Amino acid sequence: MKNVIQRAVPLAPLTSFELGGPAEYFLRAESERDVVAGLRWAKRRGVPVRILGGGSNLVIPDEGVGGLVVQMATRGRELKMDGDLAELTVAAGESWDPLVAWLTGQDLVGFECLSGIPGSVGATPIQNVGAYGHEVADSLIWVRVLDRETLEDRLLTSRDCDFGYRDSRFKRDLDRFVVLSVRFALRRGAVPEIRYAELERAVAERAETKRTEGSAPTASEVREIVIGLRKRKSMVFDPDDENRRCAGSFFTNPIIEAADADRVVRDAVERGLVSAPSEVPRYAAGDGKSKLAAGWLIERAGLCKGTRRGAFGISSKHALALVHHGGGQTRDLMAFAEEVQGAVRERFGVELHREPTLWA
């Protein structure tokens, strides 16, 4: 094992919330051999293992965590072209957004709508990371994983991953596999597919400003627009931003039965929250279900942007982001999250579900 296992390593600096206690044992794995050696070490001692990526979608308890934390720091990219078609294989420890910048700079289309998202490549299939109408599952060919029990490599196809909205087989069974690398399919010079109304408006506005109406945007142009939209919501890391200590969206947009969504809309009209049903953000989600906007529900439940509860609050730019303003504890973050969930439940009868993983 190239790197040694350390004791009592602080984890807060390795997460975007900057919260939580130390790891009992810690290994920075810069190679796949390090990962295997770490798992063997933990197995001999009978201690649990947790895998740490970029720490951008993670909540650490105040007391820290027992067992071994393996930080994935593996690196490597391999791009193979066949005409305009590309297959890209990336190590799990690579950072996501620099990868997207590199690809869009080569006019490779597929990830431009996922620009500005923090974290590591290995975490993207676990969460099925998505934004602006696109998600990682759209481009994924396979995930190469390490089976924790057998310590053997396996290739899991996109179908094997059982992807859902911000969900996957990996997320439902976090202790089964370690993601080692991911292969994606991209296309050079293709027209980026715009599926999200907010992004469509921004693309149209840019075209009108530049007097290029009717011409399709490039991958780099879409990336630039997406970064701009995310910055306005404090969704791109900026060390000077008061909202920087967060995990992005803290709750997923609830997917509920269409009949329940009808009830929410009627209730919003009757309470005077909107003047017409069309003003309630609602999207078809298939199988007789509808997706509602969690941020909209939070604000209409009385918790507006900038709400503060001591060291925590709602982002001043985006109602879906819970923010740590410094000096807080994880228990207070979770209490505030429960307050937000309770307010939405009481007002609309809708349950919000946490998006970040809590290491308990």
Does the pLDDT value for residue 64 go beyond 70? yes
Domain tally, the chain: 3
Q: Give the H or E element holding residue 108.
A: strand 108-109
Stated pTM of the model:
0.93
Same domain, 89 and 106: yes
In tens, the pLDDT along 136-162 reads 999 999 999 999 999 999 999 999 999
Q: Which residue range is the domain that position 286 belongs to?
A: 255-358
Q: What is the pLDDT of residue 213?
A: 67
What residues act catalytically? 166, 249, 355
Q: Are residues 158 and 82 both part of a single domain?
A: yes
Which residue carries 């094992």 as its tokens?
1
Q: Residues 131, 173: one domain?
A: yes
The answer to the question of residue 230 being in a domain is no
CATH code for the domain of 326: 3.90.78.10
Shared domain check, 128 and 67: no
Same domain assignment for residues 66 and 100: no
The DSSP H or E segment spanning 261 is helix 258-270
In this predicted structure, what is the pLDDT of residue 280? 97
Q: Is residue 332 part of a domain?
A: yes
Are 67 and 81 in a shared domain?
Answer: no
| pLDDT exceeds cutoff 80 at 2 | no
Residues 40 and 58 in one domain: yes
Specify the CATH number for the domain of residue 140. Answer: 3.30.465.10
Identify whether residues 41 and 117 lie together within a single domain: no
Mean pLDDT of the chain: 96
High-pLDDT (> 90) share of the chain, %: 95
Per-residue pLDDT tens over the stretch 172-228: 999 999 999 999 999 999 999 999 999 999 999 988 887 676 688 999 999 999 999
Question: Is residue 349's pLDDT more than 90?
Answer: yes
Report the DSSP pairing between strands 85-91 and 177-188. antiparallel
**Predicted local distance difference test score (pLDDT) of residue 360:** 87
Q: pLDDT for 259-287, tens place per residue?
A: 999 999 999 999 999 999 999 999 999 99
**CATH code, domain with 11:** 3.30.43.10
Domain-located, residue 232: no
Q: Residue 352: is its pLDDT beyond 60? A: yes
Q: Is the pLDDT of residue 84 over 60?
A: yes
Q: Which residue intervals of 2-95 are DSSP H helices?
A: 32-45
- Does any domain span residue 250? no
Question: Are 68 and 86 in a shared domain?
Answer: no
Res. 94 pLDDT band, cuts 50 70 90:
very high
Q: What is the pLDDT at residue 33?
A: 96
Q: Say if 44 falls within a structural domain.
A: yes
Domain-embedded: residue 200: no
Residue with tokens 């620009």: 115
313 vs 210 pLDDT, higher one: 313
Close Cβ partners of 28 (under 8 Å, ≥ 6 residues apart):
3, 34, 71, 73
The pLDDT, as a whole number, for residue 180 is 98
In a domain, 174, yes or no: yes
Q: What's the pLDDT at 228?
A: 97
33-59 pLDDT tens trace: 999 999 999 999 999 999 999 999 999
Regarding whether 263 and 299 lie in a shared domain, the answer is yes
Q: At what angle do helices 219-232 and 96-104 cross, to 10 degrees?
A: 140
Q: Is 357 left (phi over 0), alpha (psi -120 to 50) or beta?
A: beta
Q: Are 4 and 45 in contact (CB under 8 A)?
A: no
Residue 282 maps to a domain: yes
What one-letter code names the amino acid at 162? D
Q: Cβ of 189: how many Cβ atoms within 10 Å?
A: 11
